[in-house]
Amino acid sequence: MKKTLLIALLTGIFATAAHAQSSVTLYGLIDTGLTYTSNQKETGSTAGHSKFGMTDASINPDRFGLRGSEDLGGGLKAMFALENGFTLTNGALGQHGLLFGRQAFAGLSSDQLGTVTFGRQYDSVVDYLAPLAGAGAAKGGVFFGHPYDNDNLQNTMRINNAVKYASPNYNGWRFGSLYGFSNAAGGFSDNRAYSFGTSYNNGPFRFAASYLQLNNGGSDANLAGATDSLVNPAGQVTGSDSTFSAGQQRTFGAGFDYAFGPATVGFVFTETKLENATGINNTSASPIPLANSSLRFDNYEVNAVYNVTRAFAVTGSYTFTDGSSSLAGASSPKWNQFNLLLDYALSRRTDVYVEGQFQHVSGGGTVFTADINGLSPSATSSQVAVTAGLRTRF
């Protein structure tokens, strides 16, 4: 009898210990509000109309996910993440209907050597540079994004078939890289991606730099490659997870911020160059045709966050985007955008906010009108948006 009790006790202890070495977490975020938008372009017309309606994801896109890890011993862990994006206002799946369109990866993590993961993942611009930008999810969010999210600071685009490495933290310094395979026989560079970046965060000063390159992204040349495309039954590309459809996209940038007392100020510069570009996909209207042109966006952003109290914060930014293109009548588009966000935390997980944006475009001709990221394009060169919202995390 005593032996039976001892065996049962030891079995229970070992089972508990084994269970404690593994963990799975369900998490999520919901962000919704009411938004006024000026000059919204009406479908099938060139006229602009004011709009007041329910929106979602003005700061952070809605999501829920599972992440887990298993301790393999010796500082080594197996890990995974499956993250779904959705639209709260109608319950639809995000990322063109993908079940785990935001992230889906598995890998190994070592305390000494770093982390290697495989799957659908964020690039190094998102991982390293975005936390310093007002256009990134950590500060201002979606509506603060640079025109068309041309530099992917708002992680409009993910990379499929990706192998990613992230280093350990060396006294505040980190670095990493990513490669997205084309998965095409005889077309190694046909819809592939690669990216790398670094950051330093130690004390009040933060710095980051990153680079991203896509080859033949956002086209129907290789639908199983590094970026997604939507194709209708007739075989036509009707949408894309990639911000642009282009023969080549190169994005690089750097930035810093500095915290003193309750305030943080920062500056970010990014540049995106497109060659043989056929369209801009990241717009609520139909894709903007680019007629196989070249296009460049230089983004200069200043941002600031001031914590008035522990519960109340004010975030603001200004971005000047200097563009150039080979398109007739739109060779030198220039965007000016001002953003302001007032956020009040009701608890550690729930906050309410009011934010506003103003964007003005010059030199865009009929190709580039005002188009605040995440909202419908304007029929004119100017657009204003004001949002009152609620955000909660679980």
Could you give the angle at the alpha carbon of 133 between the alpha carbons of 128 and 135, nearest 5°?
115
Question: Which residue range(s) make up the domain with 60?
Answer: 37-393
6 domain residue, yes or no: no
Considering the entire predicted model, what is its pTM?
0.90
* Residue 3, in any domain of the structure: no
Task: Answer yes or no: is 165 within a domain.
Answer: yes
17 φ/ψ angles, rounded to the nearest 5 degrees: -65, -40
Query: Where are any strands of DSSP class E within 140-262?
Result: 159-166, 173-180, 192-202, 205-217, 229-231, 237-240, 244-260
Percentage of residues of the chain with pLDDT beyond 70? 90
153-161 average pLDDT score: 94
In a domain, 308, yes or no: yes
The 10s digit of each residue's pLDDT in 164-194 is 999 999 999 999 999 999 998 888 888 999 9
Query: Is a pLDDT exceeding 50 seen at residue 19?
Result: no
Q: Is residue 146 part of a domain?
A: yes
Cα angle 370, 61, 216; round to 5:
65
156 belongs to a structural domain? yes
Q: What is the pLDDT of residues 241-253, one digit of tens each?
A: 788 989 999 999 9
pLDDT score of 219: 65
- CATH number of the domain encompassing residue 179: 2.40.160.10
How many distinct structural domains can be found in the chain? 1
